[in-house]
Amino acid sequence: MQSAKNRSGNSGIYLARLMSPEEVTEATGVTQIPSEIRNGWALCGDMPEGLWKVMQNQTERIGFRVSAFTTPNSRGYAIFTVQIRDYQIRFLLQMGWLKHTQFFETGARDGIYVSLGRDGGDHALVQKFHIQQHELEPLSAMSKLCLTSDLNTELPELKLATQGAFATDTIPSAMPGQWVKHVTLNVVLP
């Protein structure tokens, strides 16, 4: 579901989903999807048409990074970033929710799958990223300390976090020597 897109078609804000290995297995059922994908954590989001064309035909290296920040109200957020050239696709996850904490604790074991749909359509590109457990341990520790309440209480701050995470200069480039010019943000709700 798309909630915002710029005129160039290279940036946008989407709602996204974090799927546990059990949810991925249930959603894929009996398909020809490889078992290693069906048994891993998946960040599922979308990207605008302009970026889809770049990703579909890419032969270049893809950058990946994990970042985190906390707010003055003791809310924490993690951002998982995929980058090709000057395009970043970011996943914003609020810390403190049980499912997100479980993901931070176990996501490095088998790798993290990122599924990116074509602007809300039926087609998706799936890429596996390997991350070291020591890179996720701080997220797990932060997530256990962060406060959460119900989603309605969290929405005003989530809106501010979304605005900040969508800014091109919020997350440094995952590609040395490459400036970030386009951002697609996928907001993962608990």
* Distance from C-alpha of 92 to C-alpha of 172, rounded to nearest angstrom: 15
- In this predicted model, what pLDDT tens digit does every residue of 95-105 receive, in sequence order? 988 999 999 98
Region at 77 (left for phi over 0; alpha for psi -120 to 50; beta for the rest) = beta
pLDDT of residue 18: 96
Please list the alpha-helical segments (H only) found in the chain.
Answer: 21-28, 35-38, 49-56, 98-110, 133-145, 151-166
Residues in contact with 167: Cβ distance below 8 Å, sequence separation at least 6, in sequence order: 183
Domain that holds residue 147: 2-188
pLDDT of residue 31: 66
Side chain identity at 138, as an amino acid letter?
A: P
The residue assigned the tokens 């991350």 is 131
- Number of structural domains in the chain: 1
4 pLDDT more than 60 = no
1 pLDDT more than 90 = no
Question: 128 — phi, psi (to 5°)?
Answer: -95, 135
Confirm if 91 and 188 have CB atoms less than 8 A apart: yes
* Distance from C-alpha of 154 to C-alpha of 151, rounded to nearest angstrom: 5
Confirm if 94 and 77 have CB atoms less than 8 A apart: yes
Residue 185 to residues 2, 9, 41, 110: CA-CA distances in angstroms? 10, 13, 19, 24
pLDDT of residue 150: 72
pTM of the predicted protein model: 0.89
3-state secondary structure of 151: helix
44 pLDDT more than 60 = yes
